[in-house]
Amino acid sequence: MKKLLLLLLLANAGFYAWSRWGYQAEQPEPPHAELAASRVTLLKPEEIPASQAEPASVPSPVSELPASEVAVAEPPASTAVPQQVCMQWTQLDDAGWRSLRPRLQAARLQPVSARSEPFAEKYWVYIPPLGDKTLVEKKVEQLRSLGVTDLSVIEDKGRWDSAISLGIFSSKEAADHHLETLKNQGVKSAQVRPRDPVIKRWTLLFTKLDEAGRDSLKALSAEWPGSRLQVQPCP
């Protein structure tokens, strides 16, 4: 009898524990309230409360250095080489070159080349002396038959006696042009030579001149107004 009573008590205690902690009835979810379209209000961005707006991006702090510690890039040092030029001094007569030479040595300005060329104020187109009067007369007739009318026979009992002059010109270019014209007419024995007196004209070439050298040459050239000093490409 006691055992039966004990079993009943244990059964009641087990049922009570199961009903209290072991089983929970599923509770239905409360129904969602339906939204009325007429009550929905759309807010503009500026009407959104500040607490709901997106937080502004905060720039990351930048460490500032004192101006004395900021490295400043310096421009590279100039490596330009001083410009050097070449100059040519022309139309310097023989006497001028002799007096100029010691002046150049004193200024330490030596030309790399100094060349002279014969120069005359007049150039002569002529036929060399024939030596015999009969030959001269025959040559004159031949020239006139070729259409050459500007001629004269030299009769001075000197070096050019019995020569035939065909013209005197102020430049060699003009004399050469006249000689070419005579050749086209059939004259074969005519020549060109400088008319006396013949002098020398010097041409001096200076290279690798700096600014001081150029100024010195310009100052010297002013003392010889008949000459010409000019810059030219270096050889």
Q: What is the pLDDT of residues 151-168, one digit of tens each?
A: 999 988 888 999 999 999
202 phi-psi bin (left φ>0, alpha ψ -120 to 50, beta other): beta
pLDDT digits (tens, 9 = 90+) for 49-85: 555 545 555 455 544 555 545 455 565 555 555 578 9
pTM for the structure as a whole: 0.46
CA angle (25, 30, 34) in 5-degree steps: 160
For residue 62, what pLDDT is reported? 47
Structural domains in the chain plus CATH codes: 85-119+199-232 (3.30.70.120), 123-194 (3.30.70)
Q: Do 197 and 58 contact (CB within 8 A), yes or no?
A: no
Mean pLDDT over each residue of the chain, to the nearest integer: 79
**pLDDT of 23 above 70:** no
Cα 40 from Cα 55, distance rounded (Å): 26
The reported pLDDT for the residue numbered 26 is: 47
- Compare 130 and 118 and report the one with higher pLDDT: 130
Residue with tokens 């009943």: 8
